[in-house]
Amino acid sequence: MEPKVTRSVSGKGGSAPGYLAYDWSALRTFSTITSRRPFTLLGILLAILVIVAFVLVALNASQAGASPQQTVVIASKDLQPRIPITADALTTRSIPVPGDYPHVYFGLPAQLVGMVPLVPIATGQLISSNDVVRPSQALGSQSEYLPIPQGFVALTIPTSEQQGVADYIQPGDYLSVIATVSSAGKIATMTIFFHLHVIKVGTPGSTAGNNATSLTVVASQCQAEVITWFLTYASLKYSLESYRDYLAGGEPAPDVNCKQITDARGVTLQLIQQSYPKLFS
């Protein structure tokens, strides 16, 4: 039988037991972790702040790169100078809003209908206020083409309050022309033309019906010669036809005796007498 060994534990000396040494080591490790915990939490907080800041910067950058859009009118077919713009020649699309671009664009096709291009406008081109003007603003070489049907001409005739229905004649109206002739001591009056289409009143820029002194009408070249003869050797007066009696839309029928402007052969007294015998009988 082995002898019994007795170990004493003294509070004043001697080494600590083995298990006490292990326990103190564990306590020191736990103390280290807990002492560093505030710094760990601070690092996590800083990381979150960095991520949030990155996200905010990315969002601001994406918003700054996405320009606001605006709807603009573009040409759906080629537009030529001096020809009024029609609704079927226009369409719209969206574009980024330019920051300080000097051009002013149109947002609705209706804003451009009837306006006159100053320069050729290609299909798909944006139309700006620098490219077009209103018909009343287009003068000289930039004026719109007069609405003259093919095979006809425009002729300007004089007018006044008494001669031209007290200034009630407006563009788009139709006139009848009355001639009064004095011949061989006899005076006769006769309507020589019906349905002359008025396309302009007065000069460019003048207000229609405001004491205008001229009317521009559409006629065949042969009719223009006859009217010129009567303006020279007779007196003319105009009557304003009722809008209910206007020709039924579209272009006037060609003059059977003057289908082209080159068919005009001049006018003589004998020709006028043959054409309007009641004025000379």
Tokens standing for 57?
């910067």
**Mean local confidence (pLDDT), 135-150:** 74
Convert the pLDDT of each residue in 80-100 to its tens digit. Answer: 988 889 999 999 998 887 665
Convert the pLDDT of each residue in 17-67 to its tens digit. Answer: 544 444 555 545 545 555 556 657 677 777 788 787 777 776 666 555 556
pLDDT greater than 80 at residue 71: yes
Nearest to 225 by CA among 131, 155, 161, 130: 155
Measured CA to CA, the distance from residue 62 to residue 112 in angstroms comes to 35
DSSP labels for 86-151?
A: -GGGEEEEEEEPPSS----B-S-GGGTTT-EESS-B-TTPBPBTTTEE-TTT--GGGSPPP-PPTT
Is 170 found in the same domain as 227?
yes
Query: How many residues does the structure list for the chain?
Result: 281
Specify if 268 maps to a domain.
yes
**In contact, 202 and 143? CB cutoff 8 Å:** no
DSSP summary character for residue 279: G
CATH code (residue 101)? 3.90.1210.10
Is 157 found in the same domain as 137?
no
Measured CA to CA, the distance from residue 255 to residue 275 in angstroms comes to 15
Which range marks the domain in which residue 96 is found?
69-142
Nearest to 22 by CA among 13, 14, 30: 30
Is 135 found in the same domain as 99?
yes
Measured CA to CA, the distance from residue 128 to residue 149 in angstroms comes to 30
**Structural domains of the chain, count:** 2
Of all residues in the chain, the percent with pLDDT exceeding 70 is 73
Is 209 found in the same domain as 101?
no
Q: How many CB atoms lie within 10 A of CB 168?
A: 10
Domain boundary among 142, 166, 194: 142
Specify if 15 maps to a domain.
no
Is 197 found in the same domain as 114?
no
Q: What are phi and psi of 237, to 5 degrees?
A: -140, 155
Specify if 53 maps to a domain.
no
Domain boundary among 142, 168, 189: 142
Is 200 found in the same domain as 263?
yes
How much is the pLDDT for 12? 47
